[in-house]
């Protein structure tokens, strides 16, 4: 007797069997154990709720051990990446419970950061009173002249630079001088301006134990067509992620000193330009963000330049409005330049 042929190759699964398996997988009814889609996926649902809680109550995460709270807040928007991962797992688990729970972190993330997405997409077309550029140029930048020319292309009225070195400073001065005849440089930070500058002085934001040669703050008074404005340029200490946690103590102390300077400023209108080595969500910058406004900013991630994941470079103001924050093309630095419009009002 001859063998019966099914038309399938040895070792393969018949097409009908594959379709049957797909139908069984796609069913959202009870499993063999009797659990419904509303009863399975409880761990995934719990993770979704936890994600929402971290987003909404990040300030409740303590900083006492390893400054975990500041670390979380530095990269807070990226916590939203857990949503697509949990979504894929919920679909794989066929859990209606987890899918509904995911609506919570989506809503919280949208409430926190949706406005920044809208700010990045919107453009009212109105010209600001002035434009400012903030850039940490890097002390190992091999092309300071090219960096200066790239910054001038933004058409800014104010340009703030950090990590100026003794060898690079003359290059920046020579390149920027034709368009920015007024400058204020103290230590490794500087301000170049189209407007006359007066009242130039160093701003002491040194943490305890740091020598007098550490100069990372300068203040000047810019005489604009709409009146005088106090302009601060600052570079707060760097932070590190170490085995003991997030080392931001010196940065936080320096932020406190800068906040005290801003509080003591007698002029109503203030512009702050600087590498603050954290985001506006980080509680470590509270002394600064409590006295300046960054409303209207979009994400504009500026660091690291090769793959930006955080904006630690800021343009902030008091009694003025910052708008249209954006990054500029990469230079020879490990930071991207940041530009923004500033409305001074009347």
| Span 144-176, pLDDT tens digits | 999 999 999 999 999 999 999 999 999 999 999
User: How many CB atoms sit inside 10 A of residue 93's CB?
Assistant: 17
Q: Tens of pLDDT along 255-283?
A: 999 999 999 999 999 999 999 999 999 99
Three-class DSSP category at 211: coil
In a domain, 322, yes or no: yes
In a domain, 6, yes or no: no
DSSP 81: G
pLDDT at 211 over 90: no
Final residue belonging to a domain, choices 104, 120, 136 = 120
pLDDT: is 14 or 87 the higher one?
87
pLDDT for res 212: 85
The stretch 47-62 carries a mean pLDDT of: 95
DSSP 142: S
Q: What is the CB-side half-sphere exposure of residue 332 using CA atoms within 13 A?
A: 14
Using a pLDDT cut of 70, give the percent of the chain over it.
85
pLDDT for res 104: 96
In a domain, 55, yes or no: yes
Question: Do 311 and 239 fall within a single domain?
Answer: yes
Q: Give the predicted TM-score (pTM) of the model.
A: 0.84
136 pLDDT band (50/70/90 cuts)?
Answer: very high
Final residue belonging to a domain, choices 120, 136, 164 = 120
Per-chain mean pLDDT for the chain = 89
Helices (H), 27-143: 42-56, 68-74, 82-93, 96-101, 103-121
Judge whether 113 and 83 are in contact, CB under 8 Å. no
Question: Do 116 and 133 fall within a single domain?
Answer: no
Question: Do 206 and 339 fall within a single domain?
Answer: yes
> What's the total number of domains in the chain?
2
In a domain, 13, yes or no: no
In a domain, 62, yes or no: yes
pLDDT for res 71: 86
CATH of the domain at 227: 3.60.10.10
Using a pLDDT cut of 90, give the percent of the chain over it.
71
DSSP 267: S
Question: Do 82 and 205 fall within a single domain?
Answer: no
pLDDT for res 17: 63
In a domain, 289, yes or no: yes
Question: Do 57 and 187 fall within a single domain?
Answer: no
Question: Do 60 and 140 fall within a single domain?
Answer: no
pLDDT at 333 over 70: yes
- Which neighbouring-strand residues pair with 214? none
pLDDT for res 64: 80
Question: Do 61 and 154 fall within a single domain?
Answer: no
| Token pair listed for 80 | 């939203």
Final residue belonging to a domain, choices 120, 152, 186 = 120
pLDDT: is 50 or 245 the higher one?
50
pLDDT: is 73 or 302 the higher one?
302
Question: Do 221 and 302 fall within a single domain?
Answer: yes
What are the strands of the beta sheet with 321-327, ordered from one edge? Answer: 182-186, 189-193, 158-162, 130-136, 338-343, 321-327
Q: Which domain holds residue 339?
A: 127-343
The stretch 103-129 carries a mean pLDDT of: 79
Q: Tens of pLDDT along 174-201?
A: 999 999 999 999 999 999 999 999 999 9
Question: Do 279 and 325 fall within a single domain?
Answer: yes
In a domain, 107, yes or no: yes
In a domain, 9, yes or no: no
pLDDT at 323 over 70: yes
DSSP labels, 269-320: -EEEEEE-SS-TT-GGGHHHHTTSB-TT------BSTTS--B--EEEEEESS
């Amino acid at each position: 007797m001859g063998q019966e042929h099914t038309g399938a190759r040895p070792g393969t699964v018949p097409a009908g069997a594959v379709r049957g398996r797909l139908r069984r997988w796609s069913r959202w009814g009870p499993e063999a154990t009797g659990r419904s889609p509303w009863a399975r996926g409880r761990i995934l649902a719990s993770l979704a709720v936890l994600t929402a809680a971290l987003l909404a109550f990040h300030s409740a995460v303590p900083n006492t051990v390893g400054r975990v709270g500041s670390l979380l807040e530095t990269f807070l928007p990226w916590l939203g990446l857990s949503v697509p991962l949990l979504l894929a797992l919920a679909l794989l688990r066929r859990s209606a419970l987890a899918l509904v729970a995911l609506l919570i972190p989506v809503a919280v993330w949208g409430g926190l950061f949706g406005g920044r997405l809208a700010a990045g997409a919107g453009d009212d077309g109105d010209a600001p009173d002035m434009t400012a550029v903030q850039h940490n140029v890097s002390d190992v930048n091999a092309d300071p002249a090219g960096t200066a020319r790239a910054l001038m292309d933004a058409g800014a009225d104010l340009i703030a630079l950090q990590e100026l070195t003794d060898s690079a400073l003359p290059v920046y001065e020579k390149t920027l001088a034709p368009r920015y005849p007024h400058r204020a440089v103290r230590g490794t930070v500087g301000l170049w301006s189209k407007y006359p500058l007066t009242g130039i002085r160093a701003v002491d934001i040194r943490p305890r134990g740091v020598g007098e040669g550490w100069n990372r703050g300068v203040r000047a008074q810019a005489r604009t067509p709409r009146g005088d404005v106090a302009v601060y340029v600052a570079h707060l200490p760097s932070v590190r992620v170490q085995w003991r946690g997030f080392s931001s103590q010196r940065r936080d102390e320096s932020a406190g000193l800068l906040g005290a300077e801003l509080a003591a400023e007698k002029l109503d209108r203030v512009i702050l330009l600087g590498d603050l080595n954290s985001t506006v969500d980080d509680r470590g910058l509270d002394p600064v963000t409590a006295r300046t406004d960054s409303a209207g900013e979009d994400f504009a991630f500026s660091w690291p330049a090769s793959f930006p994941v955080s904006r630690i470079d800021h343009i902030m103001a008091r009694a003025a409005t910052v708008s249209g924050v954006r990054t500029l093309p990469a230079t020879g630095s490990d930071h991207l330049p940041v530009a923004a419009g500033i409305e001074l009002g009347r």
